[in-house]
Amino acid sequence: MSGAPVTLEGWYVLHEMYAVDWARWTALPAAEQAAVVLEATTLLETQARPPEGHSGCWSLLSQKGDLCLMHWRRDLEALRREQTALARTRLRGFLVPTYSYLSVVELGTYELAGQATAMLERKGVRPGDAGFDDALRTEMERLARPRLFPDIPPRRYACFYPMSKRRGETVNWFDLPAEERGALMKGHGMIGRKYAGQVIQVISGSVGFDDWEWGVTLFADDPLVFKKLVYEMRFDPASSRYALFGPFYVGIRFAPSALGEVLRSGVPAT
């Protein structure tokens, strides 16, 4: 039987998608709209500068929603406080939830373990030595920290989608030997490296937290990169044989101060 891979975890992540009740919003007198926007903007600006973590706002495209709010925090309690803070604003009364996703930034150790082992061996610490396992985890955490607790990338566009691995009777990712899973993910990662500098990918694990197994958030200044990257990965065996995909959400980043403009035209200023 294949063992579960070791994973490292960082920020807890909450994606919240809302549709604006445009009929009620546009019927509100301009002065009241301004007061609602000021209150919500003040909150979003506070959320964007937490003691620990990050938050961001996106204007969504398609009928799946109008706004995406994303929070990265140290614990679930902090995420819940941000969720409740929005619920207490007047703006929340004009928003209809369309989707949400709870996960935690996750880093698989398929390749990381090899990198950490090589660094320990250069220091004279080898597998089988007393204390090697503790040293390996410490070294992996040191290498992984920037990827587990990153800033939200300052790119104009974001794409989010949940996904799972197949576990049917004939094709089951979780029955594969660890070595085979590792080889497949290494090949998958090689495709991602081709897009270095064009797109930043953040993987968050959601087993036990939400309906899918992982959430993928991509950040780029050219939205076509999302299509090209995902399309190419679809032909990779890790996806073509084993992956299942949920809904895709694409949004345009905006600063909290641009909320009023987004609620007028849908598009933040460049």
Please give the positions annotated as active site: 161
Main-chain dihedrals φ then ψ at residue 22, nearest 5 degrees: -60, -35
Most distant CA atoms of the chain, gap in Å: 72
Element (H, E) at 240: helix 237-240
Distance of CA 90 to the CA centre of its chain: 27
Query: Could you tell me which of 159, 201, 149, 152 has the C-alpha nearest to residue 47?
Result: 152
- Cβ burial of 150 (10 Å; 0-12, 13-18, 19+) is middle
Distance CA 72, CA 147 (A): 13
Q: Which residues contact 69 (CB under 8 A, 6 or more apart)?
A: 15, 16, 18, 44, 55, 56, 57, 86
Rg (CA), the chain: 21
- As given in the structure block, the two tokens for residue 106 are 């996750």
Rounded to the nearest 10°, the torsion over CA 61, 62, 66, 71 is -60
Q: What are phi and psi of 237, to 5 degrees?
A: -55, -35
